[in-house]
Structure formats: C-alpha cells, structure tokens
Amino acid sequence: MSSDRALLEVEELKKHYAGNATLLDRLLGNERQSVKAVDGVTFEVERGETLGLVGESGCGKSTTGETLLALEEPTAGDVRFDGESVFEMTGDERDEFRRRAQVVFQDPFSSLDPRMTAGEVITEPLVVHDIANRAERRERAKELLERVGLSAGQIDRYPHEFSGGQRQRIGIARALALDPEFIVLDEPVSALDVSVQAQILNLLEDLQEELGLTYLFIAHDLSVVRHISDRVAVMYLGQIVERGPVDAIFEDPQHPYTEKLLESVPRADTSERGRRVDALQGDVPSPRNPPSGCRFHTRCPYAREACRTEVPDTYEAGVPGQRTACFRAVENHEYWESEPLEAGATDAADPDGEESPAEADD
C-alpha cells in the first residue's frame, strides 16, 4: 500500500447521460444531445480527511459521488482508490473495493427497504459478502445499532417505526457493517430537521475519529460543509470551479461563484438584517447545452470577453492547495485586457430557466 498517496484520486471524470434520440434524429444522423452531468472533474481525497463537495442542485455533485463508486458507468476519466483504478477492477478486486468504500444516501425514507427489519438492513452487506454466520451477524448488528446511538433492542423493528434521524442512523450503521475505510455521504442530513441534523453531524464526526474513516461529504448546505469538512470542492454545472482548504474557501474565496454563493447564504444572526446581499442574477443554465468558455460567465459579475471564448484552466491562488478555475487568478492573463461583458448582453445569451437543470441530478 502506498500510504503517501491520496486514498481516492479522481481524474478528469466525466459522466454524460445520453438524451432520447427521436426516430427522426436517427434517420438524419443527428448527434444525440447528452446531459453533461459531470464534465471533467479532478480532485483527491486524503486518508482520514473529509472532503466537502458542494454545489447547487443539478451541478453534478451526486452523480460524481455515484460514478466514483462505480455505481454509474463513467463516460471518461479515471478514479483510483488506493492506487488502483476503480473502473478496471474485476472479480475479487471489485468485491474488495465494494467492501472498503460505502455510501449513505440522502433520503432515509426511501433508502431503506420497508420490508426488512433494522437488523436485516444492517447485516445485508455481510450476507452479500458472505461474512460470518447468522448469529455472529446478529451480534454485529446489535453492536452497530449501539454504535450509532440506537439501542440493541430495536434490532427487530421495521423502518416505519423509526423517525427520520433514527433511519439515517440505520443507514450509517449499514455503511459501517463491512468496516469500510471510505464513505460517500450524499446529502446525509438535508432531509432532517436542524436539531436532529446536529445530532447526526456529531455522530459522523465521532465515527470518523474512532474508526479513522475518510469521507466524501456531498451537500448543498454551506454551513454544514464548513462545519464538517477539512477541504472543500465547489461545483458548478458539472465542473469544479474551486477547491482548497476549508477556511481558505470560506474566508478568501478565489472564484466569483464561490464568493457569490457564500454571500447568498442567510446567516442566523441579528446582524443579517442590515447585510447587503448582492444576489447572483439568473438561473443555472441547462447542462444539455452549457455556455461556452467559462460556464459561469453568463452570471458572473466580473465576466469579460475572454470568459466567453476561452475555457479556464485551474490556477493556484490564495493559500497553498487552493485552486480556482478563473482567469482572475492569473496576473498577466489576456482577460484583463478584454472587454467586460455587459450584464444585459449576457442575459440575452442565456434565456434563463429554459430547462430546469434540477432534473439532471439529485
């Protein structure tokens, strides 16, 4: 094992969903229009850390999580888990990966089989991987129930007998059953009330410390992401626009989208009343037909001609380890010489809301 490498390395990962081609399209040989849910995403998750993947609905964050676990077939790119390419794994290797990497889903109401008891839900991974005998599995389930803050006596209850928070605890217990190293947490608290959400966040933190887990924490709630993450990646329209250490991202964002996103969040504080919020205008464009150049240029307050024609690379900016996909981070970039785009002109180029991107994801 190469322990100096990141546990998970994602490189130029793409996931496109092919649209439905009509018969006419096929006859005419038209190219099928695809939804570019994830379009060239690169990041790594270090051992024992929590990487927060944050973005608005439809930005591709959940698809990223599913694809890197090989739950979805990737369109292009590579994911290496502990140095091994996930998509090339076969047989035992694949089984081993499936044991070491787990997932917890957003909706505790639809992600548990209503006809299975808590114990059956939790031990199912053990059955699938053919680990331990019946009695041992039951013991393990009891242990896990206690570990996630439920009582062993609840092992024979069905999901409908539990509250949302309790069900999410069962989902977490199931993910822990195989002693994984890495867990993708896909919006694990967004369906929960704030008081219960705080309980689950504390539980996740405790588990990470005790079991040395590595998390990919996918969420749209920036306060939650700030609270739990060590590093953060911000997604917009299938791409990562900025990533870096959590404090740097939240205190000194380098990408205009991150900046605007942070500005939009209402703070639960009395000073919020007087705060001037310069809200981002317009809607997220459709991932079927993303804008040219920088995908954010249609809504960006700093957009210039260069942003419309040229695709930004990622550049070092801010603190070490912080990278942004914005020309403004480059001192001598031609961006600074090019004409600012008029707000009105960009609006016309982007008739907002033509297609709600929410349907592509989440």
Partner 1 sequence: MARDLLRVENLSTRFFTGEGQVNAVESVNFDVREGEILGIVGESGSGKSVTALSLVDLVESPGRITAGQVWLRNPDLAEEFPEAADGSFVDLRELPNGVRRSLRGPTFSMIFQDPMSSFNPSITVGEQIAEAVEVQRRATANPRSTRSRTQGYGLASYLVDGLAPGRDYTDEASHERAVELLEQVGIPDPAERADEYPHEFSGGMLQRAMIAQALAGEPDLLVADEPTTALDVTIQAQILELLREIQTERDMSIVLITHDLGVIARMCDRVGVMYAGEIVERGTLEDVFDDPIHPYTQGLIGSIPDLDDPAPRLQPIEGNVPSLLDSEMGERCYFANRCPKAMQECLQPPGEREAGGEEHAARCVLVDREYDELDALPDNYFGSGGERG
Residue numbers of the site for partner 1 (CB under 8 A)? 56-57, 149-151, 163-166, 169, 192-199, 201-202, 205, 220, 222-224, 226-228, 246, 250, 260-270, 272-273, 275, 277, 279-281, 283-284, 347, 351-354, 356, 358
| Mode of pairing for the β-strands spanning 76-81 and 8-18 | antiparallel
Rank residues 86 and 228 by Cβ distance to partner 1 and give the closer one.
Answer: 228
Distance of CA 61 to the CA centre of its chain: 4
Task: Between 34 and 281, name the residue whose CB sits nearer to partner 1.
Answer: 281
Write the CB contacts of 246 (distance below 8 Å, at least 6 apart in sequence).
Answer: 52, 225, 226, 229, 230, 231, 232
- What's CA 37's distance to the chain center, in Å? 12
CB of 13 to partner 1, least distance (A): 23
Task: Compute the least distance from the CB of residue 101 to partner 1, in Å.
Answer: 26
Beta strands in 62-106 (DSSP E): 76-81, 84-85, 101-104
To partner 1, the closest distance from the beta carbon of 112 in angstroms equals 16
Left, alpha or beta for 269 (phi > 0: left; psi -120 to 50: alpha)? beta
Q: Indicate the residue among 7 and 148 with the shorter CB distance to partner 1.
A: 148
CA 167 to chain centroid: 21
In sequence order, what are the residues at sequence separation of 6 or more whose Cβ sits closer than 8 angstroms to the Cβ of residue 261?
54, 56, 222, 234, 280
CB of 197 to partner 1, least distance (A): 7
Nearest residue (CB) to partner 1, 228 versus 233 = 228
Residue closer to partner 1 by CB (options 83, 351) is 351
CB of 147 to partner 1, least distance (A): 13
Report how far residue 316's alpha carbon sits from residue 324's, in angstroms, rounded to the nearest whole number. Answer: 7
